[in-house]
């Protein structure tokens, strides 16, 4: 193999030990002319091992990133949505209390109306439309 042939196709200028400049296009042409250098089994194993290590690190980084996203969403939920849920619960409790009070008041008014009628005093009752409640 000629000494001007670089093994790195991304090297634009001369590397240590070479006297000529080789561009990526020239490198490709030289590879086609001279043939592709063969990789030894140990080089392939080292490359595969390096890729596995890199894949493992990337997987770990992705897992950390996903965990951070989950934590961010959980914190957002706790900060923004939990107060709204608490407020909704309070409003529902208040609505139930007011409904019970309204029914109790209606019952008392009906008893008072019945007593007044019993004693001969008839006070016309106000009939509210069902939409009022």
Query: Is residue 124 domain-resident?
Result: no
pLDDT digit string (tens) for 42-93? 666 777 787 888 888 888 888 888 988 888 888 888 888 889 999 999 999 9
Length of the chain, in residues: 133
State how far the Cα of 24 lies from the Cα of 7, in Å rounded to an integer: 10
Instruction: Read off φ and ψ for residue 41, nearest 5 degrees.
Output: -60, -35
Contact 15, 8 (CB under 8 A): yes
Same structural domain for residues 21 and 75?
A: no
Same structural domain for residues 31 and 43?
A: no
**CA 81 vs CA 15, 47, 88: distances in Å:** 60, 49, 10
State how far the Cα of 93 lies from the Cα of 97, in Å rounded to an integer: 6
Q: Which domain holds residue 22?
A: 1-37
Number of domains in the chain: 2
Same structural domain for residues 30 and 95?
A: no
pTM (whole model) above 0.75: no
Same structural domain for residues 15 and 76?
A: no
């Amino acid at each position: 193999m000629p000494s001007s042939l670089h093994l790195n196709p991304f090297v634009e200028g001369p590397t240590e030990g070479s006297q000529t400049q080789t561009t990526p296009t020239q490198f490709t042409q030289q590879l086609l002319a001279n043939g592709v250098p063969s990789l030894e089994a140990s080089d392939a194993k080292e490359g595969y091992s390096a890729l596995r290590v890199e894949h493992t690190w990337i997987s770990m980084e992705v897992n950390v990133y996903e965990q951070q996203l989950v934590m961010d969403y959980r914190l957002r939920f706790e900060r923004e949505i939990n107060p709204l849920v608490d407020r909704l619960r309070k409003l529902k409790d208040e609505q139930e209390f007011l409904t019970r009070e309204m029914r109790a008041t209606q019952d008392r008014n009906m008893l008072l109306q019945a007593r007044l009628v019993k004693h001969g005093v008839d006070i016309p009752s106000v009939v509210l439309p069902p939409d009022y409640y």
